[in-house]
């Protein structure tokens, strides 16, 4: 069977999304004769001399009357090389929630831009939503090229503007194609009018884009939807667990861990209505039986003992609000539906509301209204078993349900987990010494200082100087350098988004233990994401331990000039993809307690500034 590609179309109103889909279906011979005759008659009744192919997807009466898309329309077609499911989503800003719905499980986002209008607000909104929802591939179709006389410079200008905006998003694969959906140029066949374009036409690209690595086949996750019991037939004591594989591959004989109970068993069999299976992979609905008779309920998750999701009762997520009758506000309680598990969750804080156009953060926002997006922290009444959405879309997203109306009011993607909760079978051991007694006996107080900035900004130099100044005066201090940690406790981590976040989390946990012992922990790590730095801060705030952030605001040009490890030279040569400052963004701290620039003084003078800051903070304890 041919491979299935799910794609979503997006763009501003009247950019030609429905026309493009109609053209694809028509030219790919994906329209039945009676459908074609129906839209011919409708087009004639509306006075159109040509067949309006947009009518193939604009099925609602209101859509046809207004000539716009309102609801999400799904269309299926196939070629000898691939099967397709297209979600045609509305372009109006008030229907942004519909776009989120259509894009939630897409492999590819097809964003249309009107060549006459260029990149506008809705273009940016839909590009951001596609990035937020983790769609791995993006195709930008610059439509209506016939109206700009097939001008290559118009196409080039729009491409450059979009690339400039997308550089701030998590977009890995983006392709630009000039087309005319109405006339069919470059949709299925190459166009002589676009002779200067050297790439493939749209359908050829859709047939060839590689999606084999898009599914997460590494992390087995099986949320249990229903427990099947049978007291009849050949197996009177049958107990099976029905659900859909969220990620990974499961096989009979595999050892599995049941969350939240922590019980371990082995898979005895995997079956569907058609019989037994040798393996199950993402999106397959199956029934699993275990070799042991253990308690498993709806909402539980089967995973590997050494590869488990993070158990959280607090989580941070990027939320898109979808309800026009209410707004998301701090203190309100909702139902969070995460796979098959539903828990009550209270909005603990709204960190910011995002301005899609410039990606600016409004930290003064008090609520999220219809179609608005923000970073929200929830406190749940029961634990959830989650993964970072970037690496596992199957267990990294959730919907928000109003407990009164039972309507879906929002959707969220988990980018940052708050403090991870250990297994319920593990308890914290407090010891015999209270913190105050320990500090009094040692004659010291513990704290943590995070030094953050680009590679070569001087983090380790300043941190090492502060460490030396403390230790030579008889006060315990220890520098946790990012490179050193990657040779030890973080040696198993790479540089993916997930691994970088885990690297920062581990460093924060270790620093907190140093601070608990009465030492000054000095973290020297790039930590480019504001959310990761916030996680370290919260670890200390929740433990009532002093925490200070020092930002080494050294310009990129100066860091490259220094380049003590030769990393910038390798990054510029393309040998270090994703290197912070070159092709990966560094989110500048906005709340650092101290900012050090080259103009702040000599190295000894900057060390003195940090020592004064630490001294002032410890004097408050």
Residue pair 199/177 in contact by the 8 Å Cβ criterion = yes
Task: Name beta bridge partners: 76.
Answer: 85
Q: Which one of the listed residues 247, 455, 457, 527 is annotated catalytic?
A: 527
Closest CA to 100 of 400, 316, 386, 365: 400
Closest CA to 532 of 509, 580, 554, 500: 500
Distances (CA, A) of 234 to 231, 237, 330: 9, 9, 54
Residue 541 CA to residue 72 CA, distance in Å, equals 45
Distances (CA, A) of 406 to 135, 199, 410, 446, 591: 28, 48, 12, 48, 39
Residue 45 CA to residue 30 CA, distance in Å, equals 24
Radius of gyration of the chain (CA): 28
Distances (CA, A) of 409 to 320, 321, 322, 377, 611: 9, 6, 5, 16, 49
Closest CA to 11 of 161, 186, 140: 140
- Decide if 527 is catalytic: yes
- Cβ burial of 295 (10 Å; 0-12, 13-18, 19+) is exposed
Residue pair 63/70 in contact by the 8 Å Cβ criterion = yes
- Cβ burial of 305 (10 Å; 0-12, 13-18, 19+) is exposed
| E strands in 92-183 | 108-114, 137-143, 173-178
| E strands in 453-503 | 477-481
- β 447-452/547-552 pair status: parallel
Give the list of residues 6+ apart from residue 418 with CB closer than 8 angstroms, or none.
312, 314, 315, 316, 377, 535, 538
Residue 194 CA to residue 203 CA, distance in Å, equals 16
Which are the catalytic amino acids? 527
């Amino acid at each position: 069977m041919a491979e299935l590609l799910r794609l979503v179309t997006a763009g501003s109103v009247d950019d030609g999304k429905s026309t493009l889909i109609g053209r694809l279906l028509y030219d790919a011979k994906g329209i039945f004769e009676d459908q074609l005759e129906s839209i011919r008659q409708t087009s004639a009744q509306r006075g159109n001399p040509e067949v309006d192919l947009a009518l193939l997807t604009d099925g609602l009466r209101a859509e046809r009357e207004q000539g716009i898309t309102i609801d999400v329309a799904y269309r299926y077609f196939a070629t000898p090389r691939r099967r397709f499911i297209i979600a045609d989503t509305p372009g109006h800003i008030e229907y942004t929630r519909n776009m989120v719905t259509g894009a939630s499980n897409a492999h590819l986002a097809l964003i249309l831009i009107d060549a006459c209008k260029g990149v506008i607000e809705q273009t940016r909104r839909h590009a951001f939503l596609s990035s937020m929802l983790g769609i791995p591939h993006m195709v930008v179709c610059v439509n209506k090229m016939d109206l700009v006389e097939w001008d290559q410079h118009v196409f080039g200008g729009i491409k450059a503007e979009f690339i400039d905006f997308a550089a701030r998003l998590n977009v890995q694969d983006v392709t630009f194609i000039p087309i005319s959906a109405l006339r069919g140029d470059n949709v299925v066949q190459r166009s002589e009018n676009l002779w200067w374009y050297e790439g493939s036409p749209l359908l050829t690209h859709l047939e060839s884009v590689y999606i084999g690595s898009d599914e997460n086949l590494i992390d087995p996750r099986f949320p249990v939807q229903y427990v099947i019991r049978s007291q009849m037939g050949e197996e009177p004591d049958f107990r099976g667990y029905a659900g859909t594989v969220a990620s990974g591959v499961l096989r009979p004989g595999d050892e599995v861990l049941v969350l939240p109970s922590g019980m371990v068993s082995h898979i005895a069999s995997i079956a569907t209505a058609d019989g037994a299976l040798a393996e199950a992979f993402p999106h397959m609905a199956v029934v699993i039986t275990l070799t042991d008779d253990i308690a498993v309920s709806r909402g539980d998750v089967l995973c590997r003992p050494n590869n488990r999701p993070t158990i959280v009762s607090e989580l941070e997520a990027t939320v898109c609000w979808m309800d026009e009758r209410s707004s998301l506000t701090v203190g309100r309680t909702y139902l969070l539906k995460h796979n098959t598990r539903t828990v009550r969750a209270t909005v603990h804080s709204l960190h910011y509301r995002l301005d899609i156009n410039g990606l600016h953060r409004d930290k003064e926002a008090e609520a999220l209204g219809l179609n608005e997006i923000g970073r929200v922290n929830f406190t749940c009444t029961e634990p959830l078993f989650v993964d970072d959405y970037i690496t596992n879309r199957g267990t990294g997203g959730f919907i928000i349900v109003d407990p009164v109306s039972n309507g879906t009011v929002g959707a969220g993607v988990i980018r940052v987990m708050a403090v991870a909760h250990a297994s319920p079978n593990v308890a914290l051991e407090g010891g015999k010494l209270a913190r105050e007694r320990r500090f009094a006996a040692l004659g010291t107080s513990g704290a943590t200082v995070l030094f953050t900035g680009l590679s070569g900004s001087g983090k380790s130099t300043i941190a090492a100087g502060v460490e030396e100044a403390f230790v030579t005066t008889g006060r315990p201090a220890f520098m946790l350098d990012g490179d050193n940690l990657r040779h030890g406790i973080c040696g198993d981590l790479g540089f993916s988004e997930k691994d970088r976040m885990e690297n920062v989390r581990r460093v924060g946990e270790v620093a907190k233990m140093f601070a608990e012992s009465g030492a000054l922990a000095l973290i020297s790590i790039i930590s480019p994401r504001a959310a990761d730095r916030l996680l370290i801060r919260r670890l200390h705030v929740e433990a009532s331990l002093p925490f200070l952030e020092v930002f080494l605001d050294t310009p990129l040009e100066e860091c490259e000039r220094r380049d003590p490890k030769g990393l910038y030279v390798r990054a510029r040569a393309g040998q270090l993809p994703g290197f912070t400052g070159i092709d990966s963004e560094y989110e500048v701290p906005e709340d650092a307690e101290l900012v050090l620039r080259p103009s702040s003084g000599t190295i000894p003078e900057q060390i003195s500034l940090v020592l004064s800051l630490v001294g002032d903070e410890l004097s408050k304890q």
